[in-house]
């Protein structure tokens, strides 16, 4: 069994380093090119389960990569950054020197962006992992950088916050699997 993870292509906010949780942004032209390039990763593969985040940037990435059929799973939404939605790390550090989302978390936001802890993201990732393990074959997931980092950490049996060690760029693919029945990373942050 192999779990292929696709991080969506570039958006204006990802290019600018703005925290993009629940704000539903389209791909840039470059993001669409990245998504098309991912087609080689999924072409001619049969997946028992294909899950995609509700965000248009993830759905469009899946479609441009040639994924014809998928289920939208709300547990795949990106980390809800609360009051830091749309704000860059440099801007946050103006009032919170040395701030790091993985260590210091977020502040609550408005009704549309209430925010969540990394452990809450981990709980959502655990639900997705349960679906993956019951699929009975290869699985494809199309989602977001921080969420996929948490998912990988939880796949390995690590705390959600260990996702901080797994940088993940836009338009890349990764793979999770097993070695001698033990969960492992097969590939990470691979460009196409």
Distance of CA 122 to the CA centre of its chain: 12
76: three-class secondary structure by DSSP = helix
Which residue among 8, 19, 144, 146 is the active-site one? 8
Are 23 and 86 within 8 A, CB to CB?
yes
Nearest 5°: phi and psi at 10? Answer: -65, 145
The question of whether 8 is a catalytic residue gets the answer yes
Q: Which of 47, 88, 98, 54 is nearest to 74 (CA)?
A: 54
Examine the residue annotation and report whether 113 is marked as an active-site residue of this protein.
no
2, 19, 63, 78: the catalytic one is 78
User: Do residues 53 and 83 make contact, with C-beta atoms less than 8 angstroms apart?
Assistant: no
Q: Which residues are catalytic?
A: 8, 78
């Amino acid at each position: 069994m192999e779990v292929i993870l696709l991080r969506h292509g570039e958006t204006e906010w990802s290019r600018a380093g703005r925290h993009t949780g629940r704000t539903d942004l389209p791909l840039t032209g470059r993001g669409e090119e990245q998504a098309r390039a991912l087609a080689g990763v999924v072409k001619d593969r049969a997946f028992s389960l294909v899950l995609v985040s509700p965000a248009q940037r993830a759905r469009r990435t899946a479609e441009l990569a040639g994924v014809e059929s998928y289920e939208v799973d709300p547990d795949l939404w990106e980390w809800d950054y609360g009051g830091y939605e749309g704000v860059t790390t440099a801007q946050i550090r103006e009032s919170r020197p040395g701030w790091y989302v993985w260590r210091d978390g977020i502040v609550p936001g408005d009704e549309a962006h209430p925010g969540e802890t990394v452990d809450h993201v981990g709980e959502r990732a655990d639900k997705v992992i349960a679906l993956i393990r019951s699929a009975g074959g290869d699985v494809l997931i199309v989602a977001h950088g921080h969420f996929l980092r948490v998912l990988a950490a939880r796949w390995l049996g690590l705390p959600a916050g260990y996702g901080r060690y797994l940088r993940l760029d836009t338009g890349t693919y990764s793979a999770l699997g097993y070695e001698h029945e033990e969960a492992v990373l097969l590939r990470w942050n691979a460009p196409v």
